[in-house]
């Protein structure tokens, strides 16, 4: 018998626990932003992997190919059978009820202030019910840390979150910053947002559709991390909630949201992927000629792979890149022979 990861007392008997609240992330995952389940995709911003790990809800192979612009791999098709951000037998039924008790007031009383309100011109929105807000974001953080290795909290901090959740006290000593990304234009636009985790530490960063969570393990761990425009040197401290009386949300308007998300994907994935391809080309070149590839040859290879659009790089699987590189080197060798 495995014990529940929250109470540490009862049997972990609950199936299909969403460790990121389904009501928040669903419109991002689902095609056209609908509330109908199992029709979307997501990926994790794991900086250690130059390839984007696509994961899908239950789509057929043809829809997968249309969505990502190439034929899916067997692994990606297998991922289509899983329910995203959901686990079985990690928590117990009683703790699942506690999660619901925490989520419901946030969804009913706080969320409409963001998704159903005109926030034009606002940079900060303050909410008086900081206990409801903190309890909600604390369960996102704790459950995700239990279920995702990339969110590597210290044991001490994870335990602090656990106690805060069990006591439902909204511990204000935990430094927490939340940015709301205004998403205008209908539910379909929510599919432009991201869901996942980065491997940054202090702040640890969680993308949760139209909310971006940043948390620090303690006050001494607070430091400035630009993260592609999410934070600014002059204002990042004031956006951190700690020992607060009301909870402050930072607001990105719709235009800022688009710029930010594009910057994230270009910097976090495309640039790292380009460097990976340069290194791969060097490896092939060394095997042929015993030295690193000339810079000009390397850049010609990259431009051929990009084919006019940097974002094409996120569509390639590892096998496709390998085959492309082999074919490119063979052609180059024949030309220069």
Between CA 295 and CA 298 the distance in angstroms is: 5
Q: What is the pLDDT of residue 42?
A: 46
Gyration radius of the chain over CA positions: 22
Predicted confidence at residue 89, as pLDDT, reads 93
Name the E strands within the chain.
Answer: 17-18, 41-44, 53-56, 86-87, 124-127, 176-181, 194-197, 204-209, 211-215, 247-252
Q: Cα–Cα distance between 248 and 252 in angstroms, integer?
A: 13
How high is the pLDDT of residue 44?
Answer: 46
d(CA 322, CA 305): 11
Question: Which residues are within 8 A (CB) of 241 and not within 5 positions of it... i.e. 6 or more apart?
Answer: 130, 134, 172, 175, 176, 177, 178, 247, 248
pLDDT tens string, the chain, 337 residues long: the values are: 699 999 999 999 999 899 999 999 988 876 555 555 444 444 444 555 555 444 433 344 444 454 445 565 666 555 544 557 888 999 999 999 999 999 999 999 999 999 999 999 999 999 999 999 999 999 999 999 999 988 999 999 999 999 999 999 999 999 999 999 999 998 888 988 888 888 899 999 999 999 999 999 999 999 999 999 999 999 999 999 999 999 999 999 999 999 999 888 877 777 777 887 888 888 888 888 889 999 999 999 989 888 877 766 666 777 777 888 888 888 887 754 4
- The answer to whether 130 touches 181, Cβ cutoff 8 Å, is no
Residue 134 pairs in a beta bridge with none
Q: Are 162 and 173 in contact (CB under 8 A)?
A: no
Residue 87 region, left (φ>0) first, then alpha (ψ -120 to 50), else beta? beta
Q: Where are the domains of the chain?
A: 93-252, 269-336
User: Look-up: residue for tokens 């699942």?
Assistant: 96
The first and second tokens of residue 27, run together, are: 């419109």
Provide the pLDDT for residue 49: 54
Q: Name every residue whose Cβ is closer than 8 Å to that of residue 112 and which is 6 or more positions away in sequence.
A: none
Which residues partner with 90 through β-bridges? none
Q: pTM for this structure?
A: 0.77
- Helix (H, G, I), strand (E, B), or coil: what is residue 29? helix
247-252 and 176-181 beta bridge pairing = parallel
């Amino acid at each position: 018998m495995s014990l529940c990861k929250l109470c540490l007392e009862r049997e972990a008997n609950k199936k299909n626990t969403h460790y990121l609240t389904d009501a928040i992330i669903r419109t991002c995952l689902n095609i056209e932003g609908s509330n109908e389940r199992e029709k979307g995709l997501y990926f994790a911003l794991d900086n250690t992997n130059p390839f984007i790990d696509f994961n899908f809800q239950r789509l057929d192979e043809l829809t997968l190919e249309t969505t990502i612009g190439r034929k899916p791999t067997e692994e990606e098709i297998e991922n289509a059978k899983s329910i995203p951000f959901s686990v079985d037998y990690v928590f117990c039924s009683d703790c699942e009820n506690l999660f619901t008790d925490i989520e419901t007031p946030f969804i009913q009383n706080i969320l409409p202030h963001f998704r159903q309100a005109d926030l034009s011109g606002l940079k900060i929105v303050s909410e008086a019910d900081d206990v409801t807000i903190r309890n909600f974001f604390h369960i996102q953080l704790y459950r995700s840390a239990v279920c995702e290795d990339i969110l590597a909290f210290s044991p001490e901090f994870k335990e602090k979150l656990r106690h805060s959740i069990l006591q439902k006290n909204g511990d204000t000593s935990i430094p927490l910053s939340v940015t709301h990304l205004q998403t205008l234009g209908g539910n379909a636009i929510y599919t432009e947002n991201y869901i996942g985790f980065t491997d940054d530490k202090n702040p640890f960063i969680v993308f949760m559709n139209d909310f971006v969570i940043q948390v620090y393990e303690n006050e001494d761990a607070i430091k400035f991390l630009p993260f592609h425009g999410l934070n600014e040197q002059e204002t990042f401290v004031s956006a951190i909630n700690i020992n607060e009386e009301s909870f402050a949300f930072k607001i990105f308007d719709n235009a800022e949201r688009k710029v930010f998300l594009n910057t994230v994907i270009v910097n976090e994935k495309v640039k790292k992927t380009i460097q990976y391809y340069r290194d791969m080309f060097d490896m092939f070149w060394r095997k042929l000629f015993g030295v690193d590839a000339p810079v000009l040859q390397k850049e010609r290879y990259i431009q051929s792979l990009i084919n006019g659009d940097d974002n094409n790089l996120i569509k390639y699987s590892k096998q496709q890149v390998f085959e492309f590189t082999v074919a490119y080197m063979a052609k180059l060798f024949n030309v220069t022979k």
